[in-house]
Chains A and B, each alone.
Chain A
Amino acid sequence: MTATDHFISEFTRLGRESAAAGPAWLRLAREAAVERFRELGFPTLDDEEWKYTNVAPIARTPFRIGNGFAVRGLTVEELQRVTFGEMDCTHLVFLNGRFAPELSRLRPVPDGVRIMSLAAALVEEPDRLEPHLSRHAQFEDHAFVALNTAFIQDGAFVYLPRRKVLEEPIHLIFVSAPNGSPRVSHPRNLIVAEAGSQAAVVESYVSLGEAAYFTNAVTEVVAGDGAVVDHCKLQRESEQAYHVATLQAHLSRSAHFASHSVSLGGALVRNDVNIVLDAEGVDCVLNGLYLAQGSQHIDNHTFIDHARPHGSSREFYKGVLSGRSHGVFNGKIRVRKDAQKTDAKQTNKNLLLSEEALVDTKPQLEIFADDVRCTHGATIGQLDEDALFYLRSRGLAREDARSLLIHAFASDLISRIPVVPVRTGLECLLMTRLPVGIEHREGI
């Protein structure tokens, strides 16, 4: 049996179990997706979009769909050890891909706002889902999105009516726990922000235990005219975990969208962030930080599609790589013929801390309009010896000086995260990843 066959037989098995589950349009989408997955198969290194990332370890493992019940008995306190303590906001917890209401908390929200599991939304609000779910994240060219779509079951659904503003962030926590055989989950999230609304959504991916498992997530964001959406994704799973995720955002006139992606964990991680600026005056920010050690492999692929005039995009990704780890940054920016007056800026900076650490960075600019401003730059370097000596000459131990410089490099991106508890939590987490812990003080 080939790798693809395994997942298809899982699809058939589950299809029988939940025959006729969900609305008809979704069943059609699932069928189409599994068919497309069958045709595409898993990508290989010959595929231009996957030339630096070998997914064979995922393809050859017979992952089975997990269920939420395997970690029954998990308490809120235990959960807090792997999250940043209790964030004082609405949080939805998912165990092995399934919503866990007993661990979740919904705070009061303005009228008309919906925050619920996708599974519940498929039953209660299918009409709100239909115009968006699976309409934005294309699976034609992406086997993992096809696979996720084929297995759409659960995840989070956030809906903001016109002009509704959520003051607090929404935290989506995806917990994976080992349960006998290797497990896979396919979280599927949909965030719909109607015109003039505003929200911040945080997705956290964490592990309980050290077993190998596979998370294959897709999040679709739809921002209406003038909507403001901040999205943070924190991937901090165990170093045995496989993690593939796509964030797909579709932005309307004068919308503002920011994506902050932080990858700390995982054996093999691939993040796709695709943004379509499909109206005039859209403003988007893509920030990313990846810290890899040991034999971790972290691949960030971004695609910013400037389809209309007067759009602006600011992209800033930074990587810190030690041990034998491998980082990949591939940043594509397309400026279509109509997208005059586009202002796009892309920067990727990498810090290599060991001889064997490796990074592949590739900017891709496709510019078809003639009145635009597009800049890009990539750097790969080591710790600045002059700076190290300067710090040591003031009395700092060599390892402290190294930590301080690494901290300064990485915290530059963390400081841009608008959600305060996430920013603070990440600052502390960053300290644990430094050669030696430096004391956390304000104003480093």
Chain B
Amino acid sequence: MLEIKNLRAKVGDREILKGISLTVKTGEVHAIMGPNGSGKSTLAQVLAGRDTYEVTGGEATYQGKDLLEMAPEERARQGLFMAFQYPVEIPGVSTMYLLRAGLNAARKQQGLEELDAMDFLSLVKEQAKLVEMDESLMNRSVNEGFSGGEKKRNEIFQMAVLQPKLAILDETDSGLDIDALRIVANGVNRLRGPDRAIIVVTHYQRLLNYIVPDRVHVLYEGRIVKSGGKELALELEDKGYSWIEEKLARA
């Protein structure tokens, strides 16, 4: 599904990703953990196509295609979805309009007919119920005046409607209370399946109690310094990131 080799990226003169290699196979859930400033969000944004980051080396192949060559909208239409760490407020554009435009752009690309208003509405209503999102929020401007939790839930709702092949969750768990966390986790777990893959970027182990990953990677200063199974997350929780720092210092 996704193969990253020695990926490097910088913003301005500062190199943030210093050679990342990662392979995510169809059906897998990977967690990327790391302390603040380790480059987790940068990795997520580079994969989604944010151009504030300049890719300076390496490659990323998505479904056999060169991901880095694709415009952000192209990635989205090919089934890549990123849930934003800080979802943007867009006054004057409703979530409904955005989703319909996005969904139909992807369908058009795949040679499918556009969803008509009725089918779209029933799809949206069904998914809204599953993520326990108030329907009135969908008709409002994207994220405008939403609470932090509502914004995160809106990301998961959009993911549920768009049904991506590869979902990247950028710290979707941060700032959520336990109920919201469960809703987010349910949304992700429902998406899990043999033909999809999910990358969960998180600072804390907490979310991984609900979304059990196949692989856990620790990102530190722009490199993946340790990879392991789901028990690695628990070990990190137990020993803290300083454990990694000390290990690296000794090495």
Contacts and interface: CB of A to CB of B under 8 A. Distances in A.
Nearest to B100: A441
A394 B77 CA distance: 8
Contacts of A444: 92-94, 97
Interface string B86-114: 01111111101111111101100000000
B72 interface: yes
B93 A391 contact: yes
A394 B87 contact: no
Contact of B106 (A386, A389, A390, A395): A395
B103 A398 contact: no
Contacts of B142: 390
Interface residues of B, number: 37
B132 to A, nearest CB: 21
Contacts of A387: 88-90
B67 interface: no
Given A384-B88, A389-B50, A390-B84, A395 B93 contact: no
Dominant secondary structure at the A interface:
helix
Interface string B136-162: 000101100000000000000010001
A384 B50 CA distance: 14
Interface in B14-42: none
A392 B49 CA distance: 9
B73 A408 contact: no
A390 B94 contact: no
Nearest to B143: A390
A42 B241 CA distance: 74
Contact of B73 (A385, A386, A397, A404): A397
A402 to B, nearest CB: 12
A176 B105 CA distance: 43
Given A391-B98, A405-B93, A443-B97, A396 B88 contact: no
Question: Counting chain B CB atoms within 10 Å of each CB, which of A385, A389, A412, A441 scores highest?
Answer: A389
Contact of B90 (A390, A393, A395, A412): A390
Categorize the interface residue count of chain A.
20 to 34
A407 interface: yes
B238 to A, nearest CB: 35
B49 A393 contact: yes
B88 to A, nearest CB: 4
B139 A394 contact: no
Nearest to B97: A444
Nearest to A386: B88
A398 B97 CA distance: 16
A61 interface: no
Interface string B69-82: 00111011100011
Contact of A394 (B52, B71, B98): B98
B158 A408 contact: no
A154 interface: no
Nearest to A394: B102
A443 B140 CA distance: 9
Nearest to B138: A443
B4 to A, nearest CB: 18
A395 B96 contact: no
B97 A441 contact: yes
Interface in A346-398: 384-387, 389-398
A84 interface: no
B211 interface: no
B197 interface: no
B92 A412 contact: yes
B92 A408 contact: yes
A398 B72 CA distance: 9
Contacts of A443: 94, 96-97, 139
Contacts of A398: 71, 73
Contacts of B96: 443
A411 interface: yes
A405 B99 CA distance: 15
Contacts of B9: none
Contacts of A230: none
A387 B92 CA distance: 12
Nearest to A438: B101
A398 B76 CA distance: 12
B48 interface: yes
Interface string A303-315: 0000000000000
A11 interface: no
B228 to A, nearest CB: 30
Question: Counting chain B CB atoms within 10 Å of each CB, which of A384, A397, A400 scores highest?
Answer: A397
Interface string A419-444: 00000000000000000000001011
- The 4 A-B pairs of least Cβ separation, nearest first, read A408-B92, A395-B102, A394-B102, A395-B76
Given A392-B73, A395-B162, A444-B93, 4 more contacts: A392-B76, A394-B101, A398-B73, A408-B92
